[in-house]
Amino acid sequence: MKLQAEIEDQSYEVEIRIDGDKVLARIDDREYEIEVSEPEPGVFLMKNEGRITEAYASTVGNKLAGEIEISVRGTLTNVKLIDPKRLCGSGGDHSHGDGLVEIKTAMPGKIVRILSAAGTAVKKGDGIIVVEAMKMQNEMKSPKDGLVKEIRVSKTDTVNAGQILAVIE
């Protein structure tokens, strides 16, 4: 998964790959191999080169904006994560105005909850499905107001990156 991270006035290219319990991360030209666990929501333990670091992460403001507040060793940093794939071909809030929208997962995982059944009316930002990946639960949200046309997965299903989970019309 390729992302853009903005910290203060600087921008970084970030690429993340998951290989079992290891996270392979490349930030600009630096590479890291890290073991990550989440013992409780928002608390992460990262092991790199024999050192364990504890980090706390929380969403700042609107979850859809990708702004996260991270605390490591008492230092608080605001990070804005941007997925360039989501920006491709998007207009403004009206970019999903008409037609069908597919909700896809960005990485392999397991379906832990279905929040909205087929036929349910939803608003932009409403939770549709919860996917667990790397011991973190990610709520997949509706990108627009509409109707859940179909749910293509069931609870406990294992899903692949890019797999269509639901369709909103």
In a domain, 93, yes or no: no
Could you state, in chain order, the average pLDDT of each consecutive group of 10 residues for the chain (169 residues)?
Answer: 84 84 86 84 86 87 71 89 58 50 84 94 92 86 91 93 87
CA distance 157 to 16: 23
- Write down which residue in 20, 49, 84 finishes a domain: 84
Helical (H) or strand (E) element with 43: strand 43-48
Encoded amino acid at 11, one letter: S
* Number of structural domains the chain divides into: 2
Query: From the CB of residue 2, how many other CB atoms can be counted at a distance below 10 Å?
Result: 12
Residue 41: partners with Cβ closer than 8 Å, 6 or more residues away: 137
Do 160 and 104 lie in a common domain? yes
Range of the domain at 133: 98-168
The verdict on 115 and 72 lying in the same domain is no
The model's pTM: 0.47
41 and 72 part of one domain? yes
Whether residue 149 lies inside any domain: the answer is yes
